[in-house]
Amino acid sequence: MQNEKEAHVLVLYTGGTIGMKCIDGVYRPEANYLLRTIRDLPLLNDNDYVSTNYAEAEIKPYCLPSLNHSKKRIVYWMVEYDPILDSSDITFDDWIKIGKDIEEAYNQYVGFVILHGTDTLAYTACALSFILENVRKSIVITGAQIPAFEVRSDGWGNLIGALIMAAYYNIPEVRASLQPPVEGVVLQTFGAGNMPSQRTDIIDELKKAIDRGCIIINCSQCVRGQVDVQYLTGKILFDIGVISGADMTAEAALTKLSYVLSKDCWELSKKKAMMMENIRGELTVIKEKPLRELEIVSQMARFPHLNTFEIKFLRHAFLPQLLCHAANSGDIELLNALHENGANLSAVDYSGRNVLHIAASAGHVDVVKYLLTQGVNFQLRDQWGENALAAAVRTKNKICIETLRSAGATLSVNSSRLGVELCLCASRGDMETLNSWLAAGADINQQDYSGKTALHIAVESRNEQLLHYLLDQGADPNKSDYFDLTPLGHAEKLNLQNLVIRMKERKVQ
């Protein structure tokens, strides 16, 4: 069960250098060595806190020391895989196991950290980004070049940083023969996506594979830059139907292709289109229209003495505000134009709100639907801890609330604060806002800081109409506050017979 003063994180230790021990001059994994040693490392575990708060726990967690920027303590549990694997031994089955372990523990933790060897860490990270769909929590994979218990180790900082990211941040993504049954191939080509143009035998085989439905992706071996068709040796591949991998790494291209090919419900044309789309942050999509074709940016670019860096800075400074303006005014056309020209729809303003917060607050249902189709994070919390669903409740827009709920949004307001909100509505007799909270998934029997529910307040204010409404919505007349007083008992003490009769009728039902 989550503690409001703690952020609970699950750490899956699969293996790797970070937890190895030097035995006979050779680094090798040893069962329980990492778990035992971390227990006595002050940088990674506050033993006093664990002893005080988890003395009776069957499985004792670990706890990071207090952090200056947060009132929440990071408490984490570690699960060591058996056997501990060198990352070179990681297989597809291990990727699936990690995904299933996260799925099973998903509702018990605010985030997850995977400790992994560095040799194939990039492959596992890319694979999990496709295996784990619709994830709303941070999953951080890290490792180390030197075991965590050596003085020069980078493992301490990597693990601490990963735990902080997982706990506090929700940051709203083939090489084989060309003969059947191969369905996809990743080419690692030279430079900007070039291959020997004189090797017509290879080009012919590639063309045959494409004609039978094989998806072939062209990735550059270069660390920077992306695949382009400005050279004849690269255009040849484009002309026969090879798909540009843009700036995807080979690891990302391999795992993305595996993911896309697994979608049996997709037509071949859609699979090819998805390989050119950015779905997990794996590639940079270049649009035909440059960003500065938007009038305001192009005007700024004409100012004298502005260099490329300064123009880029202006885009980052102004585009989030333009997005929020478009969302607030319900201008889908402007939103789409900004998005097509490179604006990030998930960008936040100074208060941590994204465009979905703004659109929901303004009640623009069409904009909300558009943003949901674009994958904007509907669970992102602003600086007040509220997501777009809570913003829609504030404006009492039932259609926006229903739209967000149907997309899977849940209230981000913590339980005691939600109880206060419901009690405040009851004290004002504001049934419309109460109804909005309930439509958003609030529990009508949610208690405030003193244990009172909205029904307690209805009795105290002698509001018979509100009491009838709350009972019809499922309010419990026998729910005790922290002073052991129920709404029914309070009404009896106040001799409010009409209210007593109505609540007793509800009790009988």
Active-site choice (118, 233, 249, 395): 118
Evaluate the omega torsion of the peptide bond into residue 147 and state whether it is cis, within 30 degrees of 0: no
Q: Decide: 208 and 234 in contact? Cβ < 8 Å.
A: no
Assess whether 17 carries a catalytic annotation: yes
Which residues define the annotated binding site? 87, 118-119
CA gap 155, 159 in Å, rounded: 6
Which residues define the annotated binding site for substrate? 87, 118-119
- Following DSSP, what letter does each residue of 428-472 receive, concatenated? HT-HHHHHHHHHTT--TT---TTS--HHHHHHHTT-HHHHHHHHH
- Following DSSP, what letter does each residue of 287-348 receive, concatenated? PSS-GGGSHHHHHHHTSTT--HHHHHHHHHHHHHHHHHHHHHHT-HHHHHHHHHTT--TT--
Query: ∠429-435-437 over CA atoms, to 5°?
Result: 105
Residue 76: beta bridge partners?
9, 62
CA gap 376, 389 in Å, rounded: 13
Q: Which two tokens stand for residue 202?
A: 């290879």
CA gap 109, 1 in Å, rounded: 9
Active-site choice (14, 17, 142, 486): 17
Place of tokens 């999990």: 128
Q: Decide: 339 and 374 in contact? Cβ < 8 Å.
A: yes
Q: Decide: 286 and 277 in contact? Cβ < 8 Å.
A: no
Evaluate the omega torsion of the peptide bond into residue 487 and state whether it is cis, within 30 degrees of 0: no
Q: Which residues are part of the catalytic machinery? A: 17, 118
